[in-house]
Amino acid sequence: MKKLFAEFFGTYWLVFGGCGSALFAAGIPDLGIGFAGVALAFGLTVLTMAYAVGHISGGHFNPAVSFGLWAGGRFTSKDLVPYILAQVMGGLAAAATLYFIASEKNGFSIDPTKAGAFAANGYGTLSPDGYSTAAAFVTEFVLTLFFVVIIMGATDVFANGKFAGVAIGLALTLIHLVSIPITNTSVNPARSTSQAIFAGGEYIPQLWLFWVAPVLGGIVGGFIYKILLESKPK
């Protein structure tokens, strides 16, 4: 149960900190942090929780990472469903908190036809810069693949584990710097689900891509690291 609570709180922090920065701080005139600030915020959420609870649960906070670590031989299949449920619940709880805070501001509303509504992920007309379904799929697949490779490499028995959280957090920052204009950046089905539920509209039927592409990318990344990159103890 400690592992599941760690995944719940870690995912909560990721969604609250990352999506919260996009909702409350990105667009403020003159003082706003912009999408570069949002990218950094997402990286900081993973970095901080990796050190806070990573030693308890492994610090996945993301169903695609759990699938990737399973494919790479670092995670057992019996724990997949409990971890994913904890992650999705953590994300939903964070989104509910964000919704409550946002709704307390005069004039608050969510336009589900607008790209990036409630920090949700989208493609086509819901892509921040108008990218297609294919572009969104390839982006989410490739970036999640590399994210899992970085996670497995940084936490390898032969790596300097003290800096694993830094490498993983910076990787997520870079991922957001690349893909916020394309999909508003998912690489995390729990994060996408939490925001889509509250954004509503076409974000719900588009949610499939933000499960399929990251999970496939994570699995392929796990296999690549295990087969091609992992060093075996002598």
**Average pLDDT of the chain to the nearest whole number:** 95
Question: Three-state SS for 186?
Answer: coil
What is the pLDDT, as a whole number, of residue 216? 98
Neighbour count for residue 202 (Cβ, 10 Å): 17
Please, which pLDDT band fits residue 231 given cuts at 50, 70 and 90?
confident
Residue at 58 is within a domain: yes
What is the pLDDT, as a whole number, of residue 36? 95
Nearest alpha-carbon partner for 67 in 3, 159, 151, 2: 151
Number of structural domains found in the chain: 1
What is the pLDDT, as a whole number, of residue 91? 98
Each residue of 188-228: pLDDT tens digit?
Answer: 999 999 999 999 999 999 999 999 999 999 999 999 999 99
The answer to whether the beta carbons of residues 188 and 17 sit under 8 Å apart is no
What is the pLDDT, as a whole number, of residue 180? 97
Residue at 42 is within a domain: yes
Task: With a cut of 70, say whether residue 234 has pLDDT above it.
Answer: no
Residue at 68 is within a domain: yes
Each residue of 126-159: pLDDT tens digit?
Answer: 999 999 999 999 999 999 999 999 999 999 988 8
23 vs 114: CA distance, rounded Å: 14
Residue at 85 is within a domain: yes
Task: With a cut of 80, say whether residue 34 has pLDDT above it.
Answer: yes
Q: Where residue 149 sits, what CATH number does that domain have?
A: 1.20.1080.10
Neighbour count for residue 132 (Cβ, 10 Å): 12
What is the pLDDT, as a whole number, of residue 31? 78
179 vs 211: CA distance, rounded Å: 16
Residue at 125 is within a domain: yes
70 vs 223: CA distance, rounded Å: 9
Residue at 234 is within a domain: no
How far are the Cα atoms of 69, 154, 159, 165 from residue 76, in angstroms, in the given order?
Answer: 9, 20, 22, 22
Mean pLDDT of 66-92: 97
Residue at 94 is within a domain: yes
Residue at 23 is within a domain: yes
Mean pLDDT of 104-117: 94
Range of the domain at 188: 2-229
What dihedral do alpha carbons 9, 209, 70, 10 form, nearest 10°? -10
Task: Report DSSP state, residue 30.
Answer: T
